[in-house]
A and B are shown apart, each in its own frame.
Chain A
């Protein structure tokens, strides 16, 4: 028993001080949930160029903003809307001169893959009727960007009031996607990139860009950033090659 304990202790010590591990840790990136696949692609390409592997953390932009506000020691922040980036900037957490527009996305109405309903997403479209007894899955329309855009679009199209009481507010846009994938809801509102990432849902229609504020993903370096390669990685993401990686996943790039 004692020898096992000692061995375990020595092993953990070894791992903790292992130089190889310390060197392989790249910049910490806090990114909106909808960037999961694309960001992982970009990080892999970056690491294959003999750079340290970036560490990625995905969550709802509101949760990430709160973490940054509380002093999270991260390097880069990519938000799913301008408002949360503004919020973080107002708290003085951004490194001046590093904020830049990065990606754009579209909002789509999705259904489970085996649901063949057709609906044209336009003014006053019969979404409430199509929902029937079911709910509309979307990220929380109060605070999560994907949800806020969705609510904005539905309001512009004059449909929000009729579906307001039939929402399933999910923790983030990926959780909303999961509900549609599982067939627990007849429809959901997610980003075009999320719909593309899943083979279990189909896109019923795209919300007209005019029905909501532009979905832009700003990127910025945080004041707390300490990693020497943070700036280089940010530049890589904003480069033509970096943006191409995101375009392959369905994002629109400037």
Chain B
């Protein structure tokens, strides 16, 4: 394992870690809205949340470029008021990873919230708890293992994110060259099999590990009838 390869791995971990951490509260809020909310347009919200799951990743990357590039509506605002840009930066890779991980995280978290017996929340209300307190003391603790499972699942997905990343922020070593992009680049040159194999093994190991942890957490929380997130 060369120094360059270590840099790729640490960049991947950084990008995915940041992506999942920052997405967790958003995914949770969306999961809560979809699990317990009753409002017009809920189906549309559900569909929008699942869009990155079904769109070709390149299309997602292109949409990110249109909106968050320096000349896009959001990107321009960020550059102007916060001096911040996603373009060609690891933060752009993190944004792409976050968008791709979001649907899976929302799904898992929604399942875990729905698995909390609303009758327990009703019991808490009769004992004097406001809806907010009931959420904090009953729903959240009971949903927690499932929430963690969702986060780890999102991490597994974001480790493997490629199409949206390369379309949005291209393939810059040290900044946006995560493991999948590095493997892709290495595949471009004939005779690079050894490097490709090493990186691929790392990618598989990380994803597999994350998936197993996620399933274990989900089973611990007894999600759904079968107790799993996938």
Contact = CB atoms under 8 A, between A and B. Distances in A.
Bound together:
yes
Interface of A: 60, 62-63, 66, 87, 135, 137, 140, 142-144, 167-171, 175, 178-179, 182-184
A140 B188 contact: yes
A167 B175 CA distance: 12
B172 A169 contact: yes
A75 B200 CA distance: 31
24 contacts: A60-B188, A87-B190, A140-B171, A140-B188, A142-B185, A142-B189, A143-B185, A143-B189, A144-B188, A169-B170, A170-B170, A175-B166, A175-B167, A175-B170, A179-B170, A182-B65, A182-B69, A182-B71, A182-B72, A183-B69, A183-B70, A184-B65, A184-B70, A184-B87
Nearest to B192: A143
Interface in B188-220: 188-190
Contacts of B87: 184
Interface residues of B, number: 19
A140 B88 contact: no
B171 A62 contact: no
B92 to A, nearest CB: 10
A168 B170 contact: yes
B138 interface: no
Interface majority SS (helix, strand, loop, mixed), chain A: mixed
A69 B189 CA distance: 13
Interface of B: 62, 65-66, 69-72, 87-88, 166-167, 170-172, 185, 187-190
A92 to B, nearest CB: 14
Given A170-B171, A182-B65, 17 more contacts: A63-B188, A87-B190, A142-B185, A143-B188, A167-B172, A168-B88, A168-B170, A168-B172, A169-B172, A171-B166, A171-B170, A175-B167, A175-B170, A178-B62, A179-B170, A182-B71, A183-B69
Minimum-distance CB pairs A-B, first 8: A143-B188, A183-B71, A168-B170, A62-B188, A169-B171, A184-B69, A170-B170, A171-B166
A187 to B, nearest CB: 14
